[in-house]
Amino acid sequence: MIRIVLCDDSAPFLETLSIEIRQILRRNRIEGAIYSYEYTEDIPSYLLSNCDVFFLDIDFNEKQCTGIDLAKRIRKLRPDAVIVFVTNYIEYAPEGYEVQAFRYLLKSNIHSKLEQCLLQTISRLQTERETMHINISGEILSIPIADILYIESQGHLALVHVLKKGNQALKVYRFYSSLANLEKQMAPQGFLRTQKSFLVNMRHIKKYQCNGAQLDNGQTLRVSEKNYAEQKRQYLLWKGRQ
């Protein structure tokens, strides 16, 4: 069940968007629930905490609370939610980086772009819910892939650095494995070998530059000077598919 919130101060557009999303879900045999609101302040906190996808307008006429403001609240209550801004004003796009917006859809071409965007959104959710299984002292531990910042190699050990929900603290799990084997396993899940000792979850890369990969928790990891161009290309290709 995919739970979707729509918020736009244009009632006709809101109704059209809701109808089209229902049709897309039905056509692709996806079970979903849709909640529509004209005003950001009408959305109850329990929905902000429990819904998976948010299609938000940005500029609400004569309202103090904008779509960006609402997205900030969502990020605090539901860090893994997928946010899509639906707007007439593409110039707002840079503000979306602050709240990790997944997509921008222009209202002028919503009919041609909506289905592709929604299906990519659902695919993203399914990926985020996947887990990595590791063996620690005979016990199998399942770690959500979305929570892994990076995997580090230290001798015969692999160190999985996991970001705890709600803060910037890291928990590290150690187990025996080579980074080469883990790269084969995790590359299809969005992990990039940035340097011989690091396998980085691209979901958490904020900036990728020749002087390092900056993660969204503030850390910067070394990148390979020799392979920088190819790694940057892989990162941009992955980012473009998200």
Over the stretch 164-173, which tens digit does the pLDDT of each residue have? 765 566 899 9
- The token pair that represents 16 in the structure block: 């059209």
**Final residue belonging to a domain, choices 80, 101, 128:** 128
- Same domain for 174 and 204, yes or no, is yes
- Examine the pLDDT at 92 and tell me if it is beyond 80: no
Average pLDDT of span 119-130: 81
- Same domain for 50 and 100, yes or no, is yes
**Final residue belonging to a domain, choices 128, 155, 174:** 128
- Same domain for 9 and 91, yes or no, is yes
pLDDT interval class at 4 (50, 70, 90): very high
- Same domain for 76 and 116, yes or no, is yes
- Same domain for 116 and 78, yes or no, is yes
CA 1 – CA 97 distance, rounded (Å): 27
Higher pLDDT, 130 or 162: 162
Q: Is 44 helix (H, G, I), strand (E, B) or coil?
A: coil
- Same domain for 214 and 145, yes or no, is yes
Higher pLDDT, 118 or 94: 118
Tell me the per-residue pLDDT of 211-226, one tens digit each, with 9 for 90 and over: 899 998 889 999 999 9
The single-letter code of the amino acid at 122 is I
Taking CB atoms within 8 Å and a gap of at least 24, the contacts of 130-133 are 130/189, 132/160, 132/186, 132/189
- Same domain for 42 and 145, yes or no, is no
Tell me the per-residue pLDDT of 133-147, one tens digit each, with 9 for 90 and over: 888 888 888 888 888
Number of domains in the chain: 2
- Same domain for 104 and 151, yes or no, is no
- Same domain for 200 and 117, yes or no, is no
> Quick one: pLDDT at residue 63?
63
Chain position carrying tokens 């990595």: 132
DSSP 30: -
- Same domain for 138 and 194, yes or no, is yes
DSSP bridge partners of 162: 148, 171
CA 57 – CA 85 distance, rounded (Å): 6
> Quick one: pLDDT at residue 68?
83
- Same domain for 117 and 136, yes or no, is no
Q: What is the pTM of this model?
A: 0.59
- Examine the pLDDT at 120 and tell me if it is beyond 60: yes
Strands 212-215 and 220-221: antiparallel
- Domain that residue 178 falls in: 132-241
pLDDT interval class at 127 (50, 70, 90): confident
pLDDT interval class at 35 (50, 70, 90): very high
Residue spans of alpha helices (H) in the chain: 11-27, 45-50, 67-77, 93-96, 110-128, 179-186, 228-241
CATH number, domain of 173, equals 2.40.50.1020
- Same domain for 98 and 149, yes or no, is no
pLDDT interval class at 104 (50, 70, 90): confident
pLDDT interval class at 123 (50, 70, 90): confident
> Quick one: pLDDT at residue 95?
59
**Final residue belonging to a domain, choices 86, 111, 128:** 128
Higher pLDDT, 41 or 124: 41
- Examine the pLDDT at 181 and tell me if it is beyond 60: yes
Q: What are the Cα distances from residue 68, in Å, to 51, 120, 121? A: 17, 22, 19
> Quick one: pLDDT at residue 41?
87
CATH number, domain of 23, equals 3.40.50.2300
pLDDT, mean over the chain: 87
> Quick one: pLDDT at residue 129?
73
